[in-house]
Each structure stands twice: as structure tokens, then as C-alpha cells.
Amino acid sequence: MKLVIAYFRPEQLNGVKQALYAKGIHGMSVTNIAGCGRQKGFTEQYRGVVVEVNLLKKVRLEVAVSDTKVDMVMDAIVEGAKTGKEGDGMIFVMDIANGRRIRTGETGTDILG
């Protein structure tokens, strides 16, 4: 099993969800976060004072999938999140040693939708 973690622009969330749904992936966790990377942020003026905003709003999406579906999930995330501009985001893949469904006690890949 793998855990796919993606960071991308909040306005792209609906497109990413639709791309995942089209591939049959419905289980996911979404968290609103703030972070910075190459995009670096921007400056704005607030009440006459220049303010540097370097932590930008992003979305963290987590999807647990079988090893065979990792590339499909990554492709769907790229399809939904890509704008072609700096700050589109990143995707990471981590191994999951094991898991258990609380309700039924199922373990391993049986818990994946």
C-alpha cells in the first residue's frame, strides 16, 4: 500500500476531486494548510504598511491506494491541479506498512475502497 500526499492550490481542489472520481478513487483526506516553496509569496500594502506574505494558502490531499494505482492517482492529481504556473504544487508517495478498518477489523489492502 502507498500513501499519496499532494500539495496544491486551493482553487484547484474541485478539479482534482473530479479527476480522482473519474478514475474511481473516492477515499481521500483534505486539509487546508499554509506553506511556501519556490513561489516564495508576495508583498501587499495594508493600511499604508508593506506586508510580506510568504506563507500561502495550499491544500494537502492524502489518498491511500494499492501499489498498482499510484501512477493513476498521481496522473489524476496532475490533471486536476496543473495551471502551468509556479506554485502548482508537489506530490509525494510513501509506503504504508499496514492498516486496519476500525469497524470490521479488516487489515492490509482489504481496507482500501
64 pLDDT higher than 90: yes
Predicted local distance difference test score (pLDDT) of residue 50? 78
Residue type for position 40: K
Q: What is the pTM of this model?
A: 0.87
- What grid cell was written down for 37? 516553496
Predicted local distance difference test score (pLDDT) of residue 78? 98
Predicted local distance difference test score (pLDDT) of residue 44? 74
What percentage of the chain reaches a pLDDT higher than 90? 75
CB 16 within 8 A of CB 80: yes
Residue 61 CA to residue 42 CA, distance in Å, equals: 24
End-to-end CA distance of the chain: 12
- What grid cell was written down for 76? 489524476
For range 87-99, the mean pLDDT: 96
CB 57 within 8 A of CB 105: no
Q: Where are the domains of the chain?
A: 2-111
60 pLDDT higher than 80: yes
Architecture of the domain whose range is 2-111: 2-Layer Sandwich (3.30)
Residue type for position 49: V
> Dihedral of the CA atoms 21, 24, 28, 31 (nearest 10)?
-20
Predicted local distance difference test score (pLDDT) of residue 51? 78
37-41, 54-58, 99-103: which range is least confident on average? 37-41
